[in-house]
Amino acid sequence: MLVHDSVVALYVQLANCLSDAIYQGEYKPGDKLPSENSLCKQYGVSRITVRQALNLLIQQNLAFAVHGKGTFVKAPDISHELNRIISFSRVLQLKGLTGYTRVRGFQAEAGDAAARERLGSACAALDLVGYAAQTPVVYYRSFFPTALGERMWEAARQAEAAGQAFSTFDLYARLGIRLKDVEQTLGAVNADAGLEKILSLPHGKALIVLRSLYSSHENHPLEYKLGYYRSDIYSFHLQRQV
């Protein structure tokens, strides 16, 4: 509830209550926030206070208003620079977002011909889903040489248990493995039924696909990764010289 004699303005307190509800998943992207009348009654404040609070959420990029319909929760807006490699946790930090990663699955023996060809060996597969606030925003399917895959899986389970936001890029640092370079290809694909379920997407939504091949300082391939990014949330930027 709001504290009426606090040094913090009532509209700021109300905005904080609503933003907490958004981050905790009570209101999801696309959901309509309670009406001005409902918020006035629920929190015992004036309509002006409610409008100031909703405007603050809009300024914080957490909500958007539709004339005549109300105020709605906005999906996170994440931009990713391609001229350098940064981890999922760092991406969220730069955007001022909270989040976490879930381990969706692990296969000690993955039968993916494309991954075996790129890695030059039998491979294991690790599936991760990255969340911004409570919204799934990216699905990673990574392939590793079998022995490394087991280590990455254990590191991922530890990071998940700690409630951390992470990608495999974070896990290399945890394991003390230095990367030399990465080869990447950017593309697009329509989500199939499986990806729609994983990323909570409507039917036929397009995804950005980033294919990455990581190599060690000894020029050994370490990981072939497919990253499926929600196109309504993610954008990628690349600066090039001409």
92 shares its domain with 206: yes
Average pLDDT rounded to a whole number, residues 193-207: 90
Domain membership of residue 189 (yes or no) is: yes
Please count the CA atoms within 13 angstroms of the CA of 65 that sit on its side-chain side.
Answer: 14
Structure tokens at 93: 């930090």
Q: Is residue 49 part of a domain?
A: yes
Q: Are residues 38 and 92 in the same domain?
A: no
Does 145 reside within a domain?
yes
State the distance between the two ends of the chain, measured CA to CA, in whole angstroms: 56
Q: What pairing do the DSSP bridges indicate for beta strands 70-73 and 63-66?
A: antiparallel
Torsion of the alpha carbons at 101, 63, 32 and 41, rounded to the nearest 10: 110
Are 68 and 98 within one domain?
no
Q: How confident is the model at residue 26 (pLDDT cuts 50, 70, 90)?
A: confident
61 and 82 together in one domain: no
Q: What would the pLDDT profile of 33-54 be if each residue is shown by its tens digit?
A: 999 999 999 999 999 999 999 9
Structure-model confidence comparison of residues 61 and 103, the more confident one: 103
Of 56, 73, 90, at which residue does a domain stop? 73
Judgement on whether residues 47 and 92 belong to the same structural domain of the protein: no
Is 4 inside a domain boundary?
A: no
Instruction: Please report the DSSP string for the chain in residue order.
Output: ---TTSSS-HHHHHHHHHHHHHHTTSS-TTPBPPPHHHHHHHHT--HHHHHHHHHHHHHTTSEEEETTTEEEEPPP-EEEESSS---HHHHHHHTT--EEEEEEEEEEEE--HHHHHHHTS-EEEEEEEEEETTEEEEEEEEEEEHHHHHHHHHHHHHHHHTT----HHHHHHHHTPPEEEEEEEEEEEE--HHHHHHTT--TT-EEEEEEEEEEETTS-EEEEEEEEEETTTEEEE-----
Q: Which residue is listed with tokens 């690349």?
A: 238
β 78-81/234-237 pair status: parallel
- 31 plus 101 within the same structural domain: no
Percent of the chain predicted with pLDDT > 90: 61
Statement: residue 23 has pLDDT above 80: no
Do 68 and 147 reside in the same domain of the chain? no
Structural domains counted in the chain: 2
Q: 26-42 in b/e burial notation, b at 16+ Cβ within 10 A?
A: ebebeeebbebeebbee
Query: Where is the domain boundary, 18, 53, 73?
Result: 73
pLDDT at res. 211: 95
Q: Give the pair of three-digit tokens for residue 42.
A: 């629920």
pLDDT at 154: 97
Q: Give the residue-averaged pLDDT of 24-41.
A: 88
Among the listed ranges 84-98, 100-114, 202-216, which one has the minimum average pLDDT value? 84-98
pLDDT for 46-87, tens place per residue?
Answer: 999 999 999 999 988 888 898 888 999 887 778 777 777 888
Domain span at 165 = 78-237
- Regarding whether 105 and 48 lie in a shared domain, the answer is no
Same domain, 127 and 26: no
Q: Are residues 115 and 201 in the same domain?
A: yes
Residue 15 lies in a domain: yes
pLDDT value of residue 35: 94
Residue 102 β-bridge partners: 129
Q: Residue 190: pLDDT band by 50, 70, 90 thresholds?
A: very high
Res 31 pLDDT > 90 = no
Q: What is the pTM of this model?
A: 0.76
**Which CATH number is 220's domain given?**
3.40.1410.10
CATH of residue 17's domain is 1.10.10.10
User: Does residue 205 lie within any of the structural domains?
Assistant: yes
Mean pLDDT over the full length of the chain:
90
Question: How many residues are recorded in the chain?
Answer: 242
Tell me, yes or no, whether 127 and 188 share the same domain: yes
In a domain, 5, yes or no: no
- The pLDDT assigned to 80 comes to 74
64 shares its domain with 28? yes
Could you tell me if residue 220 is inside a domain? yes
Residue at which a domain ends, from 31, 52, 73: 73
